[in-house]
């Protein structure tokens, strides 16, 4: 048991480091004065899962073994991390030298204490919002790990499926947790309920901080106060089937991640664009958010194009922002690709038979 705790904590740290390394590939190129540790981790979360979606989805559809995906993903992480260190190390050093240590250290300590307390409270909460959903997600990963397959068995009965479950066809979040379990030898229950719950809490807290910083970055005191108030609202604004309710009681679920991380990240990027921080790298981050969002919930297939349209259409209609039309079209094409893949397989236009 104690060994599992150590491995779990180490896994959380490794994931956060990977998010930073993946995110730095974008944030180090947006603007030199915009580089931020929290922003890099936040964007890196989406880049990481977008990359995993691109790698894992074809292997899932081709019925490849989980062990093969685990090895391939380990190689991808090693390559991306090595490239990130080589090309971004100078930018990290410059940013470190420009840090205002007094305010930064104070804010960092307070943020870490609050997020640490939240992680402890939520991961030790014995109440859960939906045992049926929990049993499905954890059971699916467990069956995948113990059979060395990618979601080819019924998690309730253990019977091999005839075809892949169309309700979870595009999702690879549960596959990622299976990979974590296979690599670390930790039971999927721990991977979901402790490792990913903690990661979701940390990324959500960092995301709220980044959004507040877009408006109050010059006033560190008000920034910290605003961030703390936003966290309090998240914890005290509970109502049934709301993002705050899922955050408190169903933290590790894909639909929770879509609500408290993916959508706010998209909001953050749109805020940056409206403030005319319209670097092409911001759009790349948005593309990664679109693709990465598909990994967590099937709702993303319709929700993401809706959110993109709500932003881009008014912008396109304005006189001075017509140059973003191609970005909107490209974003919608990406969303359409996932919808077409899902419809073709779920409607049996393309048949992938397991048995």
pLDDT, tens digit (0-9, with 9 covering 90-100), for 217-253: 667 777 788 888 888 877 776 666 666 777 777 788 8
Average pLDDT over residues 11-40: 85
Could you give the CA distance from residue 222 to residue 215 in angstroms, rounded to a whole number? 10
Question: Over 80: is that where the pLDDT of 103 sits?
Answer: no
In percent, the amount of the chain with pLDDT more than 90 equals 30
* Residue 269, pLDDT score: 85
* Residue 238, pLDDT score: 66
Question: Over 80: is that where the pLDDT of 278 sits?
Answer: no
Question: Over 60: is that where the pLDDT of 181 sits?
Answer: yes
Q: Give the highest mean pLDDT range of 24-38, 44-58, 185-199, 272-286.
A: 44-58
Q: Got the DSSP string for 200-247?
A: HHHHHHHHHHHHHHHHHTT-HHHHHHHHHHHHHHHHH---TTSHHHHH
Q: Got the DSSP string for 74-131?
A: HHHHHHHHHHHHHHHHHHHHHHHHT--HHHHHHHHHHHHHHHHHHHHHHHT----S-H
Count of beta carbons in the 10 Å neighbourhood of residue 88? 21
Could you give the CA distance from residue 187 to residue 177 in angstroms, rounded to a whole number? 10
- For the chain, the structural domain boundaries read 2-346
Q: What count of Cα atoms within 13 Å lies in the side-chain half-sphere of residue 138?
A: 19
* Residue 291, pLDDT score: 92
* Residue 33, pLDDT score: 55
Count of beta carbons in the 10 Å neighbourhood of residue 334? 17
pLDDT, tens digit (0-9, with 9 covering 90-100), for 105-156: 666 777 777 777 777 667 666 555 566 777 788 889 999 999 999 989 988 8
Could you give the CA distance from residue 24 to residue 163 in angstroms, rounded to a whole number? 39
Could you give the CA distance from residue 301 to residue 298 in angstroms, rounded to a whole number? 6
Could you give the CA distance from residue 267 to residue 228 in angstroms, rounded to a whole number? 19
Query: Which structure tokens are listed for 133?
Result: 């959903």
In percent, the amount of the chain with pLDDT more than 70 equals 86
pLDDT, tens digit (0-9, with 9 covering 90-100), for 188-203: 988 888 899 889 988 9
Average pLDDT over residues 294-310: 88
**Higher pLDDT pick, 182 / 274:** 182
């Amino acid at each position: 048991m104690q060994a599992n705790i150590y491995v779990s904590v180490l896994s959380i740290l490794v994931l956060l480091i990977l998010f930073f390394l993946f995110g730095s590939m974008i944030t180090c190129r947006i603007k030199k004065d915009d580089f931020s540790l929290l922003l890099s981790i936040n964007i890196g979360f989406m880049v990481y899962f977008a990359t995993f979606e691109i790698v894992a989805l074809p292997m899932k559809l081709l019925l490849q073994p989980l062990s093969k995906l685990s090895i391939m993903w380990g190689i991808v992480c090693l390559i991306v991390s090595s490239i990130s260190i080589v090309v971004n190390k100078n930018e990290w050093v410059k940013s470190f030298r420009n840090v205002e240590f007094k305010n930064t250290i104070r804010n960092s300590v307070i943020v870490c204490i609050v997020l640490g307390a939240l992680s402890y409270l939520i991961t030790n909460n014995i109440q859960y919002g939906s045992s049926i959903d929990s049993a499905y997600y954890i059971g699916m990963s467990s069956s995948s790990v113990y059979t060395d397959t990618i979601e080819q068995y019924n998690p309730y009965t253990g019977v091999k499926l005839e075809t892949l479950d169309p309700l979870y066809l595009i999702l690879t979040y549960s596959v990622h947790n299976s990979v974590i379990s296979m690599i670390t030898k930790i039971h999927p229950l721990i991977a979901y309920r402790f490792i990913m719950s903690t990661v979701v809490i940390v990324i959500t807290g960092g995301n709220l901080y980044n959004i507040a910083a877009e408006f109050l970055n010059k006033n560190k005191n008000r920034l910290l106060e605003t961030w703390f108030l936003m966290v309090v609202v998240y914890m005290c604004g509970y109502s049934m089937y709301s993002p705050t309710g899922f955050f408190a009681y169903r933290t590790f679920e894909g639909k929770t991640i879509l609500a408290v991380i993916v959508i706010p990240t998209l909001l953050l990027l749109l805020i940056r664009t409206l403030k005319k921080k319209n670097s092409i790298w911001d759009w790349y981050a948005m593309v990664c958010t679109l693709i990465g969002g598909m990994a967590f919930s099937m709702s993303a297939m319709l929700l993401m194009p809706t959110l993109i349209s709500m932003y881009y259409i008014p912008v396109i209609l304005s006189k001075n922002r017509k140059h973003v039309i191609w970005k909107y079209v490209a974003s919608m094409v990406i969303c359409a690709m996932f919808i077409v893949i899902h419809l073709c397989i779920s409607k049996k236009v393309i048949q992938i038979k397991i048995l």
